[in-house]
Structure 1
Amino acid sequence: MASPQKMMSLGCFLLLSLLAFSSCSHGAADSPIRNRRILHFSDDPSKDYKPFVDDSTFANSKLKQAYEVLQAWKSTIYSDPQNFTSNWVGHDVCAYNGIVCAPAPYNASLTVVAGVDLNHADIAGHLPDELGNLSDITLLHLNSNRFCGIVPESFMNLKLLYELDLSNNRFVGPFPEVVLGLPDLKYLDLRFNDFEGALPPELFTKDLDAIFLNNNRFHSTIPETLGKSPASVIVLSNNKFSGCLPSSIGGMAGRLEELLLSGNDLSGCLPEEVSMLNTTTVFDLSQNKFTGDLPRGMEYLQSLEVINIEGNEFRSRERQQRDQDVCRKALSEKVDCSAGNCRRPVKREEPKLPPPPAPRPQPPKPQPAPAPKPMPYFAPAPTPTASKPLPAPAPITFKPSPVPVPAPAPITFKPAPVPVPSPEPVIPELWPEPALAPAPAPVYQSPPPPPAQSPPPPPVFSPPPPAQSPPPPPVFSPPPPPPRVLPPAPAPAPQVPKETTIPFTFEPFQLPPNLGAHYVSPPPPAIPGY
């Protein structure tokens, strides 16, 4: 029989063995739970999986729903080099990067997710259907990321969405018509993606303020509904649009500020309605195939700040529109603007210059032999007695008149008919124009137009240098002769008998602009006697 000591040691061994077995069995039973936890936090997305969340940890059901949506979206992201979504953990969704919370528009006491802004996060993934459950967001900005795929139909539930920016991503498929059902949408930006196909006509009947569709693969004609758009900015550049620019574009007058259609295959003539865009500041049609002439009236678009028509086939004097070989054919043939119903052909008309102004009557033209008639006038010229009504001006002129008396020297100015006015001592008596005497030369240089009123002035001029101006008298004499005969019987005639020819010259006391500047005396009509 075994000793009690051996029995005790055996019992201890059995006890230790039992404890070891129980610990192993416990670990084996716990391993499936550990495995499930690892699977739960792995990167393997599962649409059917919904994490268990205690409702008591959220302020309201809207925030709990937003949490579920954002977790589902995070599970579709396969690249986040900037760790933008690294803090999308926990129940406080309002603290997530790019998530904006605000009071609900229908209940100020209810906090909801009102916006999502992931601009420039460089995230790669796609848009899950669950995003349609963020029914309270008013803006969704995802530009400059690497999202791909299509825009989910669940977006139709975003009834409060005001701004949708999906630009600079990798979205594909036809134009996402689901956005046309968003009642409050005002800003639509789908630039720099791979959308393709035709544009729905309803796009331009929707109440949008800005439409950016450039740098995609749209290929179709521009819908005729373009003119119904209330948008202030429309950018359709760098696609494959073809055909004519719709004539309905005139319907955007007063609203459209910027229209960019560059880098397409648009052709034909520009519609005349383009000239109605009176509020447009930027108009870019470059790098298309437009032909013909620019519509009439475009020069009246006073709001235009930028207009670019390069790279087309317009008939123009501008250089470097296209290579000469490309344009030669288009420029040498008649352009049929009616083709494609773009607009009716317009005949080019050379600009009509206004008729030249009627030449002012020049005294030299009337240069007839009537010079003798001026001589008789010279005698009457002394009749300055009639100048009594202008005594005041006469004295003013008298001051210079004494100088004219020795004006025989001015006679030397014969080459210039001006001397005639200068020497006239008699002029002060008859006219206030004696002032003309001081600037005789100017008078000769600019032959004054012979007005009917000038009759009295001729006598004034006749007395000065008659001998010197024999030739000029004929030139100016035609108009003055009759008036000069009226003032015969002037005593001062003996003073300037030789200057009989002078009366002709200054009959029209209306001196040219430069002469008038030299003369202070009033015009001939001042003499009431005549």
Structure 2
Amino acid sequence: MSNIINFHSFHLSLLFLFVLFCSSEQHSITSHGGLTDKEVSYIKQRQLLYYRDEFGDRGEKVTVDPSLVFENPRQRNAYIALQAWKQAILSDPFNLTGNWVGSSVCDYTGVYCAPAPDNKRIKTVAGIDLNHGDIAGYLPEELGLLTDLALFHINSNRFCGTVPHKFIKLKRLFELDLSNNRFAGKFPEVVLKLPSLKFLDLRFNEFEGTVPKELFDKDLDAIFINHNRFRFNLPVNFGNSPVSVIVLANNKFHGCVPSSLGNMTGLEEIIMMNNGLRSCLPEEVGNLKNLTVFDVSFNELMGPLPDQIGELVSLEQLNVAHNMLSGKIPASICQLPKLQNFTFSYNFFTGEPP
């Protein structure tokens, strides 16, 4: 019984915070000039569905006109998904979804079709791109019907809520870009169950809590989770990630930089600025021969810069400013053949710079 009480208390607390977030002056939807008071009230009511995600559906009722003719059943499913999404949109200032009418889903703005991977004779919805639309609303469960979707890009909008659990059906999803919206709640663990995912962009949202360590075991090429409210220690398996780019900046990743960082031999860019990281930089950083950008500024790193940084032969940008690093700056850094910018101010280095 206590677990049930705690569960309901937790969700009521989240509900209060979410409604406060969507109605606050700082994050006000109306501040973007799109919604009336009535529409704001409506979207708050719709966001109550956000709390069904854990154990039930959060969807819209879509009735398919029997007179509509579809090229194939998958386009019919796409019609249901997109009409449900259209119902979940409260403001569309550029009218991007204005032509989302009728059975020709491949003609909808922002919707892209291609031959199905398992049947080249039929066309299915393979991509959605509504970037920079300033659209307000949320993502309904019906989007899980888009089982052939490979690209889902909706950055720079005003979507609230969470990532639907039905996204687990998007087995072919290759790129997921939810950046610069108002998504909230825990890290969307459904992304861990997407077998084809290579590009994950959750930056500039209101996600919070821990980041599951399993993220760093996924075969991803790029991870962007910066500018959220994540709080956790970088796990030991951090270096298992095969990414070429990872940006974690402006969260609260307390703790040490794990030595497994040195295992990320394909890494080209890593940005961990302003995260409250502590400890020394591990010597294993010298293994990152493909690294071009290394930014750990505005943390609480201590100790010397490891001499092994002088082995980063591809490095172009190095920023260790605003830490508590000490000792002498390794002369080998200035011998790096491609280095263009080295920022080391606001530390406790001694002696003359090389």
Scaled to the shorter chain, the TM-score interval is: 0.7 to 0.9
Q: C-alpha separation between the residues in 1 aligned to 2:200 and 2:186?
A: 15
Q: Which residue does 1:265 correspond to in 2?
A: 276
Matched residue SS, 1:265: coil
Q: How big is each residue's C-alpha offset from its partner over 1:82-128, in whole Å with a ceiling of 9 and x where there is no partner?
A: 11111111111111110001110100111111111110011000000
Identical columns (%): 54
Specify whether residues 54 and 200 from structure 1 end up closer, same or farther in structure 2 by C-alpha distance, changes over 3 A only.
Answer: same
Q: What's the offset of the Cα at 1:48? A: 6.1
**Of 288, 292, 306, the match for 1:281:** 292
Q: Which residue does 2:346 correspond to in 1?
A: 322
Asked whether 1:309 is paired with 2:320, we answer: yes
Long gaps (5+) in structure 1:
1-42, 333-350, 352-530
Specify whether residues 263 and 108 from structure 1 end up closer, same or farther in structure 2 by C-alpha distance, changes over 3 A only.
Answer: same
Q: Which residue does 1:29 correspond to in 2?
A: none
Q: C-alpha separation between the residues in 2 aligned to 1:320 and 1:260?
A: 15
Q: How big is each residue's C-alpha offset from its partner over 1:238-273, in whole Å with a ceiling of 9 and x where there is no partner?
A: 1111111001111112x1111110011001111111
Q: What's the offset of the Cα at 1:199? A: 1.2
Asked whether 1:228 is paired with 2:240, we answer: yes
Q: Which residue does 1:101 correspond to in 2?
A: 113
Q: C-alpha separation between the residues in 1 aligned to 2:327 and 2:262?
A: 23
Q: Within 5 Å, give how 1:110-189 maps onto structure 2.
A: 110-189=122-201
**Of 67, 71, 88, the match for 1:76:** 88
Q: What's the offset of the Cα at 1:68? A: 1.3
Q: What amino acid is the match of 2:346?
A: R
Q: What's the offset of the Cα at 1:47? A: 5.3
Q: What amino acid is the match of 1:235?
A: V
Q: C-alpha separation between the residues in 1 aligned to 2:147 and 2:162?
A: 19
CA contact (8 A) 2:136 2:157 kept: yes
Q: Which residue does 2:251 correspond to in 1?
A: 239
CA contact (8 A) 1:220 1:240 kept: yes
Query: Aligned residues, how many?
Result: 284
CA contact (8 A) 2:60 2:84 kept: no
Matched residue SS, 1:66: helix
Q: C-alpha separation between the residues in 2 aligned to 1:136 and 1:55?
A: 25
Asked whether 1:209 is paired with 2:230, we answer: no
Q: C-alpha separation between the residues in 1 aligned to 2:313 and 2:110?
A: 43
Structural RMSD (CA): 2.3
Matched residue SS, 1:57: coil
Q: How big is each residue's C-alpha offset from its partner over 1:13-45, in whole Å with a ceiling of 9 and x where there is no partner?
A: xxxxxxxxxxxxxxxxxxxxxxxxxxxxxx999
Q: Which residue does 1:196 correspond to in 2?
A: 208
CA contact (8 A) 1:55 1:64 kept: no
Q: What amino acid is the match of 1:180?
A: L
Q: What amino acid is the match of 1:274?
A: V
Asked whether 1:251 is paired with 2:263, we answer: yes
Specify whether residues 183 and 293 from structure 1 end up closer, same or farther in structure 2 by C-alpha distance, changes over 3 A only.
Answer: same
Q: C-alpha separation between the residues in 2 aligned to 1:320 and 1:118?
A: 40
Q: What's the offset of the Cα at 1:56? A: 5.7
Specify whether residues 49 and 156 from structure 1 end up closer, same or farther in structure 2 by C-alpha distance, changes over 3 A only.
Answer: closer
Specify whether residues 210 and 103 from structure 1 end up closer, same or farther in structure 2 by C-alpha distance, changes over 3 A only.
Answer: same
Q: C-alpha separation between the residues in 2 aligned to 1:212 and 1:56?
A: 41
Long gaps (5+) in structure 2:
1-42, 47-57, 330-342
Output the TM-score relative to the length of structure 2.
Answer: 0.76
Q: C-alpha separation between the residues in 2 aligned to 1:245 and 1:140?
A: 32
Q: C-alpha separation between the residues in 1 aligned to 2:170 and 2:178?
A: 15
Q: What's the offset of the Cα at 1:49? A: 3.5
Matched residue SS, 1:225: helix
Output the TM-score relative to the length of structure 1.
Answer: 0.51
CA contact (8 A) 1:112 1:136 kept: yes
Matched residue SS, 1:70: helix
Q: C-alpha separation between the residues in 2 aligned to 1:281 and 1:47?
A: 44
Q: Within 5 Å, give how 1:130-529 maps onto structure 2.
A: 130-253=142-265, 255-316=266-327, 321-322=345-346
Q: C-alpha separation between the residues in 1 aligned to 2:70 and 2:100?
A: 15
Pick the structure with more strand per residue. Answer: 2
